[in-house]
Structure 1
């Protein structure tokens, strides 16, 4: 049974055919046609992650376009793993602009969504007017493929590596413990502790005790649980299974991001800040908020204000 998103602020979706798939797209501020801003969620998320920003951006004069990207919500979930490579993911966003008749847009990304936006600026540079990315700074291409690189540093239990080297294992555990996993993952004020042995996402899915404080209300959590019970986790995890393929696809692409960019970090996020961001993104402004990874949901007003202030500059 689908959990209806019963927020007066959250728009009803439209199914839009683009790039060989159908995307579930939420819109607000259609009266501001010609001033598009596209919000891209991360993993394991949903367009609903932007619920706090959508009304404010629409009120500020933007046509707000928020897709559930392929593999999520009611959007298509192709079987083929390679259907989730960076060419397809960025191609979906470029095709979404075509659908609305836009040459370019402001793109906002969180987590994996930020990764897609960075790559969109490389692969479809002319479609990106400005960039606002949360949590995940630009990742310069490593000497060797990403999974190999991560395996050497962090070992086989690192969840990026595990997803690739043991396909299906984590997916099954997350599918069996959907609500517990999402409830244990979406926390704030989690006490700092050394990483446990084992695979982090499997550990979270099995943990009886959740640390810190919940970020989502029961109703908000229910939206996510419903979406992931519908599809399972494999389609979204397949994004990770293309990291080495993406490494090859980006081999000959200009690594410099030229667009005006705002990078928003969570001060307590486990993802480290970039030490050389301005070398690759020369036109960047950086701010940090006092929160963990789920920036726009942990600090909704502050995130929205930071975005609007920067865009008004």
Structure 2
């Protein structure tokens, strides 16, 4: 799984990790910020053991994946990437898609835009956009989200360095030793172009003028419920998107109301934002049980 391979999809060269039989059902695993494909190093062997062809790409702009010439970083572009990767890997209707943080946003959009490609989905640490906005503007959450507003300024490129990334991991997943993960992140953000790409996700999030028309269909799908059932997981101690704000007392009513019929949600105890790394046994079990049904 440590060997990085590459594949062409959606006009980009994607670096990726893989595990499991090439003829197994595709399990596409998508990382977020500030993270890399190595975030799935615990889950991928379990998916492989269950017979899946587990593939974890480095998201657009994160080395060794290329930086897109069109500068598109809206969620619609990411969803288009995911569906193009499904095609590139010969995925069938039995494929599943798993995403964390920005990977979760991508998962919602990809499954809603082209449900025929995906049997089930798993998302972590980022609820659907409509339920997210319901709690985003509380005072406590705005403090947690300071980096989003920093990234709209000309200071962003100077701020996004190893010390800053270490600080985010420390705040978002208290008590977790993120040294290995931060090293992977900084390898993926090894050039100014890569740093600009990671920041570009956040600029496109708040500035629709940065959206590229080519991805309009996928962009529109990101605001819809979709039809493929989703397992949503949230860490009880998430320091990025507080469980106290979005799932108070473990109440997922608002989240489930924005997910397709048949979806489920679980609060993972003793886990922060990077729950798949902090509580891998528990998260792996929940994911595999969900996919087996």
TM-score range, shorter-chain basis?
Answer: 0.7 to 0.9
Per the alignment, residue 182 of structure 2 pairs with 221
Relative to structure 1, the CA distance from residue 229 to residue 135 in structure 2 (aligned partners, 3 Å threshold; closer, same or farther) is: same
- Pair member with larger Rg: 1
Deviation of 1:45 after TM superposition, in Å, equals: 0.8
Is 1:184 aligned to residue 167 of structure 2?
A: yes
Q: TM-score, normalised by structure 1?
A: 0.76
> What is the 5 A alignment of 1:59-78?
59-78=49-68
Q: Confirm or deny that 1:159 pairs with 2:147.
A: yes
Indicate the residue corresponding to 2:233 in structure 1: 264
Which secondary structure state, in structure 2, belongs to the residue aligned with residue 27 of structure 1?
strand
Q: Which has the larger displacement, 19-28 or 272-281?
A: 272-281
Structure 2 residue runs without a partner (length 5+) = none
Runs of 4+ more than 4 Å apart: 149-155, 248-254
SS at match of 2:286: helix
Return closer, same or farther for 1:48/1:215 CA change in 2, 3 Å cut-off.
same
Q: Which moved more, 1:105-114 or 1:132-141?
A: 132-141
1:96 aligns with 2:82: no
Alpha-carbon distance, 1:222 to partner: 2.4
1:141, CA displacement in angstroms? 8.6
Q: Secondary structure at the match of 1:226?
A: helix
Shift of 1:278: 2.4
Please say if residues 215 and 297 of structure 1, whose CA atoms lie closer than 8 Å, have aligned partners that are also in contact. Answer: no
Superposed CA offset, 1:233-282 (max 9, x none): 21111111222436x94457772222121111101114123642222212
Aligned ranges for residues 200-211 of structure 1 at < 5 Å? none
Going by fraction, where is helix more abundant, 1 or 2?
A: 2
* Corresponding residue number in structure 2 for 1:276: 254
Tell me which residue corresponds to 1:26. Answer: 17
Match for residue 204 of structure 1?
none
Q: TM-score, normalised by structure 2?
A: 0.81
In structure 2, relative to structure 1, the CA distance for the partners of 1:136 and 1:219 (3 Å cut) is closer
Aligned to 2:4: 13
* 2:257 match: secondary structure: helix
Aligned residue in 2 for 1:116: 106
Q: State the shift of 1:232 in Å.
A: 4.4
Distance, in Å, in 1 between the alignment partners of 2:65 and 2:198 is: 11
Q: 1:35 aligns with which of 16, 22, 25?
A: 25
Task: Report whether the alignment pairs 1:255 with 2:233.
Answer: no
Q: How many residues are matched?
A: 269
Contact 1:114 1:133 in 2 (8 A): yes
* Cα 1:242–1:220 shift into 2, 3 Å: closer
SS of match in other structure, 2:129: coil
